[in-house]
Structure 1
């Protein structure tokens, strides 16, 4: 299935909609996912559904440039979500079918490993930063 690419504005709209719902106790929140994490085994993938992507269709090689202002780092819970920067530019947007929370997911690949990563979407952290020059 192919999804349209979401820009920062569309992602903010989705996040606001998800955050406006009354909080519902859900199994998807067993492990804090405010910053990037390896996808926990406790997360029931069957309750997640893909609703969009941040990957640009016409981009041959997405940038590996990161947007990490101040003292934030890749793992920081308060690191900005900048859709045109790594790793967000490789993410799919997923929604929990039980509680409506939004998550970003991508697969990190190294020389000898593959790690599925996940991060909760918080609208206040989304920044519309222009795509870096390659």
Structure 2
């Protein structure tokens, strides 16, 4: 299993990635600021998995979402709260060309599978405890 990354570690990695990634890159061809179905044009070989936000517990992660204010799942300004869905099921990918970070997970429904991706923005990472 990939290395578990908590919110503090994700935030640290995101800040470092943003500091070094200033030039345009093919990974930015499609805006990925909010969740998107993974574009067919995205070359997965350009990325490496550097960790996971999934804990190693044997407990099923929550499907509760953390969406304060008027944010929705698809909002570009929705917080990235690693303990909440869908972040608690995400792999963290790094672009091998520019160092930008992306979250990746597979949404599974009754009749479909959708690979989704979202850019990590340090200003959106929040360490929010799960509500009981």
Could you say which residue in structure 2 is the equivalent of 1:80? 79
CA drift at 1:40: 0.3
CA drift at 1:131: 2.5
For these two proteins, the number of residue pairs brought into alignment is: 132
Structure 1 residues 94, 42: closer, same or farther in 2, change over 3 A? same
Q: TM-score, normalised by structure 1?
A: 0.96
* CA offsets 1:33-89 (integer angstroms, 9 cap, x no match): 000000001111100000000001114211000000000000000000000000000
Could you say which residue in structure 2 is the equivalent of 1:71? 70
The Cα RMSD (Å) is 0.9
Q: Which runs of 4+ in 1 moved over 4 A?
A: none
Q: Please, which runs of 5 or more residues in structure 2 have no aligned partner?
A: none
CA drift at 1:5: 1.1
Could you say which residue in structure 2 is the equivalent of 1:15? 14
Deviates more, 1:93-102 or 1:18-27: 18-27
